[in-house]
Amino acid sequence: MRLLSYNIHKGIGGLDRKYNLDRVARVIEHENPDLICLQEVTRHARRTLHDDQPKILTARFAAIAHVFQMNVRYRGGGYGNLILSRWPVVDSYPLCLRWGRWKPRGAQIVILETPDGPLHLANWHLGLRNRERHWQVEKLLSHHQFRAAARLPTMIVGDFNDWQNQLATAALAEHGFEEATRPASRFRSFPAFLSVLSVDKAFHRNGIRVAEARVVRTPLAKEASDHLPLVVDFRLAARD
C-alpha cells in the first residue's frame, strides 16, 4: 500500500507563485498512491480562482472515498485538509486543533477498510509554535474518539511544522508511535526548491510495517508547491 502526504500550498508554486493545480495533480499521479493526505487545499477561494479543489481532485483521482476538513475561512471560501482513498472510509471525524487566538488548525481522523484490514489514519497540519504543536499532539492522542480506535494499526501523517524534530521523543513516543521519517536529514521537504527542513512526517504503531519512506524530489515537485511530497509504502503486519 502506498500513502502520499503533501502540503500543496493551495496549488501555488513555491518559486513562481503561480496558481496551477494541474502541476500538483501530475506530481501525485506520478507516485500512484492508494491514499492521498493533503494539506492547504482550498475551496471557493479568490486566490485560487474560486475552484473547488476537493471536488476537482476527487474527480481527477477517481477516489472511492474523500473527506474534506475546512480549517481556515476567508470572507469567501477557505482551506484545509483533504483525504482521498481508493478504499472505503468506514468512519471519520474532524478534530479542531486551534490553540488560543492563533491560526485555526485541524486533524482529520478516519478508519479505512484496506485490503490488509482496517487502518486508523490521521492527517493534520500543526502550528508554527513549539508549545502549540505539543498541545496539539496531546489533544489528538487524548481525544476519546481517537482512543476508541487505539488498538487498530494507526498512522499519523501531514505537515508537522516540527523543524526542530522534537515531537518524536515526547508524547508520540510515550503512546508507542515510531517515526518512519528518520533521520531528519533524509526527509527535508521545505522549502521545495532548496529543502533544508524536515517538516512533513509520518508516525505509526500497532503492526504497521513500513517498507520505504521517501521525499519526492522530481523537478516538477520542486515547482508545484512550497513543500515536497512524502511517500510511505507499508503493509499491515496482521495480514502478512
- Residue 22: all three cell numbers together: 494541474
pLDDT digits (tens, 9 = 90+) for 62-112: 999 999 999 999 989 999 999 999 999 999 999 999 999 999 999 999 999
Residue pLDDT tens, the chain, 240 long:
999 999 999 999 999 999 999 999 999 999 999 999 999 999 999 999 999 999 999 999 999 999 999 999 998 999 999 999 999 999 999 999 999 999 999 999 999 999 999 999 999 999 999 999 999 999 999 999 999 999 999 999 999 999 999 999 999 999 999 999 999 999 999 999 999 999 999 999 999 999 999 999 999 999 999 999 999 999 998 544
Q: What is the CA radius of gyration of the chain?
A: 16
The answer to whether the CB of 40 falls within 8 A of the CB of 8 is yes
Of 179, 199, 184, 69, nearest to 128 by C-alpha is 199
- The total of structural domains in the chain comes to 1
Cα distances (Å, whole numbers) of residue 215 to 93, 227, 228 = 28, 10, 7
CA angle 49/55/58 to nearest 5° reads 130
CATH of the domain at 119: 3.60.10.10
- Residue 26: all three cell numbers together: 501530475
- At residue 238, the pLDDT reads 58
- At residue 135, the pLDDT reads 98
Structural domain including 198 reads: 2-239
The answer to whether the CB of 200 falls within 8 A of the CB of 159 is yes
- At residue 240, the pLDDT reads 42
